[in-house]
Amino acid sequence: MDNKQIQENYHRILETIADAAVKSGRLPEEIAFMAVTKTVAPELVNCAIDCGIQILGENRVQEYQSKKDAYRPGIPVDFIGTLQSNKVKYLIGNIRMIQSVSKLTLAQEIEKYAAKQNLKQDILLEVNIGGEESKSGILPETLPELLMQVSELPHVHVCGLMTIPPPVKDDRFLKAMQELFLKIKQMQIPDTEMKILSMGMSDDYAQAIQCGSNLVRIGSALFGARDYSKR
């Protein structure tokens, strides 16, 4: 993968996002396009930033720490991978948002370190919409209880929901997530905001946008297939 290919991929993805946004009755600029940077060299990430990418998604704390100083200054980064409680301290104050919170204990750890820095950490609650044992995330039926508990943490701010649906050909899980998002939004739980639905990756982002997503997390469609030998 070279800079020219990334530029071509970026503009092709933008066109697809715009088309899906219009089909969903929204403007293209209402959809956030996140570049997922797992295993991607910083110089290629910077190429994507130069193209117009305005937000990055990191999956691993150690990799983020090793690369963050090489990125263009000022670019916001969200953490989207599975997060262990003992690594929360490395993210607070550096990350814009933590998208993968699905346990009260993790939220409480975020609260502890955010309180130490006197800031309010934005998070998304991760939902396991397909009920898959191999994936993290809270089950839909227990989401309201967790949301109520997290809403009581003064230094944690829930901004919406995130999911990784099962890899099926139809959009039933995307639609189920859309329905859940709207249901939770209607509950109007104090001190929470249902403004972000982070859903859709390289293989399904157009479908996800048509099912209400306003933040898509794209890696391989932008940077090419990942080389996991570089872990």
Rounded-to-integer distance, Cα 106 and Cα 76, Å:
22
Q: Region 158-171: what's the mean pLDDT?
A: 94
- Give the count of beta carbons closer than 10 Å to the beta carbon of residue 9: 20
Sign of the CA dihedral running 156, 130, 199, 74: positive
Q: Are 218 and 199 in contact (CB under 8 A)?
A: no
Nearest to 202 by CA among 2, 1, 9, 41: 9
Among left, alpha and beta (phi > 0; psi -120 to 50; other), residue 220 is alpha
pLDDT in tens, 205-216: 999 999 999 999
In the numeric block, which tokens belong to residue 61? 């704390």
Q: Where are the domains of the chain?
A: 3-223
Residues 6+ apart with CB under 8 A from 106: 83, 85, 88
pLDDT in tens, 52-77: 999 999 999 999 999 999 999 999 99
pLDDT in tens, 78-113: 999 999 999 999 999 999 999 999 999 999 999 999
As assigned by CATH, the class of the 3-223 domain is: alpha beta
What is the pLDDT of the chain when averaged over all its residues?
95
